[in-house]
Amino acid sequence: MRLSAHVATKSVTFVSDVGGLNDHGYNEFTYLGVKAGATKDHIAWHVIQTQDPSQYVQNITTAAQQSGLVICSGFAMGDALKTVAARFPKVHFVILDYSYAPPLKNVQADVFDAQQSSYLAGVVAAGVSKTHTVGFVGGVDESVLQEFLAGYEAGALAENPKTHIKVEWTGSFTNEQAGKAAAQAEIAQGADVIYTAAGGSGIGGIDAAESAHVFAIGVDADQNYLAPKTVITSAVKELGKVAEDNIAEYVHNSWKPGTQVYDLANQGVGLAPFHGLAKAVPAQVRKKLAAVEKAIASGKVVVPTKPRFPNGH
């Protein structure tokens, strides 16, 4: 047993969720942040990849045995992390998109106000839609993902109250064909902008939008590169920044447990640039976006976290 090994030399271990390390989303951008942060602050870094949810406890335990800072990606690992954190009181743990009540003594829970960036996505969607019909393709219908829908529909209806919203859940974060089928059903009913919040499954939705020559809005990271003429913007979470912040605080002994909120005000969430599609976004929509962004950041506009129309509108 080398219980004090991590006290002598600091290191960070990233435990990825299922879906692969280069998933164009959660795992990938947290991983890149861990790598960048560890390099900048000169500490060793390791990665443990999860293939199956049954490995969560084992992987987080292995990480805690080798590093003083353990970063876990994704809300699905919440329960497993709670179990392991109690066994390693001296290790610092970080989890994204999950929080504990009451907070745990050695865990920093980093949550994103995804409803805020989704609101901006909704403004863009309603602003560029010619059919006044916009689509949403979600992964699994649970509270973390309902926030995306809540913000999106609020934003779309604020931009144009006559907007119709189509809602689909694929039941998966890996099934690209299901994401494609969902988007196709929405496009058949007139949707000409599709916002995907479904991990790998959502990438199928972007592909359906590309084939049908309608717009898509990416999620988590700037996904424009997946289909440059289709992905008009993306509702991003600054996953890399969160990883880098945690590493810097850990290295400089200023790391704190508790819940940390990343939102528009601290630029933890936001919209990706329009890239080559800027011309498709009318000037007054862009003006409105800037104003709305300010209003949300200052707290003047509070974005709901529960969808008003869970089955569409």
181 or 285: whose CB is closer to another protein? 181
Interface pattern 20-59 for another protein (x via CB under 8 A)? xxxxx---x--xx----------------x-x--------
CB of 289 to another protein, least distance (A): 26
Residue 245 makes contact with another protein by CB under 8 A = no
For residue 234, the Cα-to-chain-centroid distance in whole angstroms is 10
89 or 161: whose CB is closer to another protein? 161
Cβ neighbours of residue 216 closer than 8 Å, sequence gap 6 or more? 183, 193, 194, 195, 196, 205, 206, 209, 210, 227, 230, 231, 232
Residue 160 tokens read as 């144009």
Residue 225 makes contact with another protein by CB under 8 A = yes
CB of 172 to another protein, least distance (A): 6
Looking only at residues 163 through 192 of this chain, which bind another protein when binding is defined by CB under 8 A? 166-169, 171-172, 174-178, 180-182, 184-191
Binds another protein by CB under 8 A, chosen from 122, 155, 200, 218: 200
- DSSP labels, 123-145: HHHHHH-SSSEEEEEESS-SHHH
Residue 226 makes contact with another protein by CB under 8 A = yes
Strand order of the sheet with strand 193-197?
Answer: 164-169, 133-138, 193-197, 215-220, 231-237, 269-271
Residue 19 makes contact with another protein by CB under 8 A = yes
CB of 66 to another protein, least distance (A): 21
Nearest to 57 by CA among 28, 86, 98, 92: 86
CB of 229 to another protein, least distance (A): 12
3-state secondary structure of 270: strand
Taking the chain, what is the end-to-end CA distance rounded to the nearest angstrom? 59
- Residue ranges with strand state E in the chain: 11-15, 44-48, 69-72, 92-96, 107-112, 133-138, 164-169, 193-197, 215-220, 231-237, 258-262, 269-271
Residue 312 makes contact with another protein by CB under 8 A = yes
Interface pattern 72-111 for another protein (x via CB under 8 A)? ----------------------------------------
Cβ neighbours of residue 285 closer than 8 Å, sequence gap 6 or more? 123, 124, 127, 128, 159
Residue 153 makes contact with another protein by CB under 8 A = no
27 or 99: whose CB is closer to another protein? 27
Binds another protein by CB under 8 A, chosen from 55, 65, 66, 131: 131
Residue 203 makes contact with another protein by CB under 8 A = yes
Residue 310 makes contact with another protein by CB under 8 A = yes
Cβ neighbours of residue 63 closer than 8 Å, sequence gap 6 or more? 13, 14, 15, 46, 48, 70
CA–CA distance, 182 with 138 (Å, rounded to integer): 9
Residue 160 makes contact with another protein by CB under 8 A = no
CB of 216 to another protein, least distance (A): 13
CA–CA distance, 11 with 35 (Å, rounded to integer): 11
Residues that bind another protein in the complex, under the rule CB under 8 A = 18-24, 28, 31-32, 49, 51, 131, 133, 135, 141, 166-169, 171-172, 174-178, 180-182, 184-191, 200-201, 203-204, 207, 225-226, 310-313
